[in-house]
Amino acid sequence: MSREQQPNLYALGDKFRGFWTPKVGHIWKRVLLSAALFTLAAHGFLFTNEFFSHDSISYFTYATGSVPFYISIGRFVIPAYEWLKGAVAAPWLIGLLFLLWTALSSFLLVRLFQIRSVGGQILTSGLVCTNLALTLTGATYIYCMDEYAFALLACVLAVYCFTKGRWWSMAGLVSLVASLSVYQPYFTVAASLCLLLLLRRAAKGESAGHVIASAIRYLGLLAAGFVVYFGAWTLLCTVSGVAKRRVEESVLGGLNLGKLLDLIVHANVSYVKELFDGSGILGHLLPVVHVLLLVILFWRLGKILLDQSMQMGGRVLLLLLACLIPTAFRSAEILLAGSATELMTFAGELLYLLVIVALESDEGGREREYPVRMAAMFLLCCVLWQHVVYANQVYMKKELEHQATLTLASRVIDRVELLEGYIPGETPVAFVGRLDDNSYLNHGREAFSNIQRTVGLWKDYGATYNMGRYLTDYLNYPLLWDTETDFSQWTEVQEMPAFPAADSIAMVDGTVVVKLSSCGRNEVE
């Protein structure tokens, strides 16, 4: 057929060629290369080794019965995603997928905020790939690190489509629902990006009416996306006969106005405190870096507000939007009614993206702002360096846990098999307490005291939970694991010492009881 006979096909090709210009191609190559380098620097050790712990113990081979569980917690796209990438959590493959999704996210962010400078593009890519929330995800849940990166890409794509308007907004809604269906907390990233876009438009002098209209539109699209997602989740639970779980942990579980206001205040206060926390790799140097970055942002804000060409309504709106930044960046804590973890704090580091965007001024002001730009780039490089060092120290800590747990698991097996009457795979075995609660073994390493950020990462000799899963799922030991009987309340067991004492493993009423610690928490499946 001639070109005239295929107008729609050629028009589509022309549109693509109009979008993918040589300049855009250079941006993509630059972002992809920098993403590869920063991913290798920060997460290379993780993706070229295997040290499963926490839920990764039981999910490094994806359980075939996990579909109802994922439906129940509203992450119903994950089973399809895992089916596509295979049934084993292979770190190298996860790393490649992680690189692809984070590079695409960085590329979209560069395009979304029109970041023209080479340094800004490289830093955007690096800060996305090394975000501490992703590092903590890799340290605890390696099997879903690429999934969370995919959720991030989906929410960034959703916002990108929202800015295009018209039918693009429908594609954005689909993308937002996909992100929520993989990992709900990244919804806060989409909301925060919308706020930054509004800030950018207000700072460029766009009329307050237009900015407010856009804000209403963004809010409507975000709300519509959440409603569609919640409806799809409800429908799937109804059809499959699965009850929703964890709803009570969010605002959906019911909050009064007073509680909501308390959460908002707490979120703002905790965000500010975190900016001035000196317990990181850089110590008290990081709060200094944050102070200097905030000075640059306030300087840039003041410069915009003093511009005589800006209308008063625009100035007031810009200030109001700026005041919403801490609330947006900590909105996960609000939406989850105070139960958010550090795994959900990706949006908090969008502050660094805001610095990059704020200094992407018009061509005429670049030369005058050059010293400030270079200072900001240096400060962001300090942050990026901290992220790389932090990631490597966290992964080394987890590797030490892994090796120690292998040794302890072997010792437990040896002592169980020495018990008279024990038959592997036939004699039931029960665990009382948890290895990572053993006060004798988990005394703390001084060298890692400056990376304590989240629970479940910092036990010395016990890969957080649990020993039973380590023996069965990881070491493939034929263990008949009794998870039903609560032996912790038995007098005979309460009198037993904790592992590694001589009598910490004993035959009790035909069951081998392994007392891992003296506390009441028991091993569970």
Q: CA-to-CA distance for 286 and 385, rounded, in angstroms? A: 11
Q: Cβ contacts of residue 92 below 8 Å, gap of 6+?
A: 47, 48
pLDDT in tens, the chain (525 residues): 555 555 555 554 555 555 678 888 899 999 999 999 999 999 999 999 888 877 777 777 665 557 888 888 889 999 889 888 887 888 999 999 999 999 999 999 999 999 999 999 999 999 999 999 999 899 888 888 999 999 999 999 999 999 988 889 999 999 999 999 999 999 999 999 999 999 999 998 888 999 999 999 999 999 999 999 999 999 999 998 888 886 665 655 555 566 778 888 888 888 888 888 776 666 678 889 999 999 999 999 988 888 777 888 888 999 999 999 999 999 888 888 777 778 888 888 999 999 999 988 655 455 667 888 899 999 999 999 989 988 998 898 888 888 888 888 889 999 999 998 899 989 999 988 887 778 777 766 666 666 655 545 556 666 666 788 888 888 888 989 888 888 888 888 888 998 888 889 999 988 999 998 886 555 555
Q: What's residue 455's pLDDT?
A: 44
Do 342 and 133 contact (CB within 8 A), yes or no?
Answer: yes
Which residues, in sequence order, are CB contacts of 73 under 8 Å at separation 6+?
Answer: 244, 245, 246
Cis geometry, peptide bond prior to residue 466 (ω within 30 degrees of 0): yes
Query: What does the mean pLDDT of the chain come to?
Result: 85
Distance CA 49, CA 51 (A): 7
Q: pLDDT tens-digit profile of 127-160?
A: 999 999 999 899 888 888 999 999 999 999 999 9
> Are 515 and 505 a contacting pair, CB within 8 Å?
yes
Per DSSP, the three-state class of 481 is: strand
Please report, as a single letter, which amino acid is at residue 432: V
SS3 per-residue string spanning 444-479: CCHHHHHHCCCCCCCCCCCCCCCHHHHHHHHCCCCC
Degrees to nearest 5, angle at CA 134 with 133 and 138: 120
How many residues are there in the chain?
A: 525
Work out the number of other CB atoms within 10 angstroms of the CB of residue 262.
14
**Residue 110: which of 38, 201, 23 has the closest Cα?**
23
- 500 cis-preceded (ω within 30 degrees of 0): yes
DSSP 8-state symbol, 228: H
Contacts 24+ apart (CB under 8 A), 401-405: 401/51, 401/53, 401/459, 401/460, 401/461, 401/462, 401/463, 401/464, 402/51, 402/52, 402/53, 402/463, 403/51, 404/460, 404/461, 404/462, 404/463, 405/53, 405/435, 405/461, 405/462, 405/463, 405/467, 405/470
CA angle 114, 115, 118 (to 5 degrees): 145
Tokens in use for 323? 């005041």
310-317 long-range contacts, CB within 8 A, separation 24+: 310/205, 311/207, 311/208, 313/207, 313/208, 313/209, 314/202, 314/205, 314/206, 314/207, 314/208, 314/211, 316/208, 317/202, 317/208, 317/211, 317/212
Q: What does the alpha-carbon distance between residue 202 and residue 211 come to, in Å, rounded to a whole number?
A: 7
Backbone angles phi, psi at 430, to 5 degrees: -125, 150
Are 280 and 386 in contact by the 8 Å Cβ rule? The answer is: yes
Return all residues near 179 (Cβ < 8 A) that are at least 6 apart.
151, 152, 154, 155, 158, 186, 187, 190
Rounded to whole angstroms, how far apart are CA atoms 310 and 202?
9
> What is the signed CA dihedral for 209, 214, 219, 223, rounded to 10 degrees?
130
Give the per-residue pLDDT at 210.
93
Query: Quick one: CA dihedral 261, 263, 266, 271, positive or negative?
Result: negative
3 state DSSP class of 514: strand
In this predicted model, what pLDDT tens digit does every residue of 248-271 receive, in sequence order?
Answer: 656 555 555 667 788 888 888 888
Task: Give the Cα separation of 128 and 380 in Å (integer).
Answer: 12
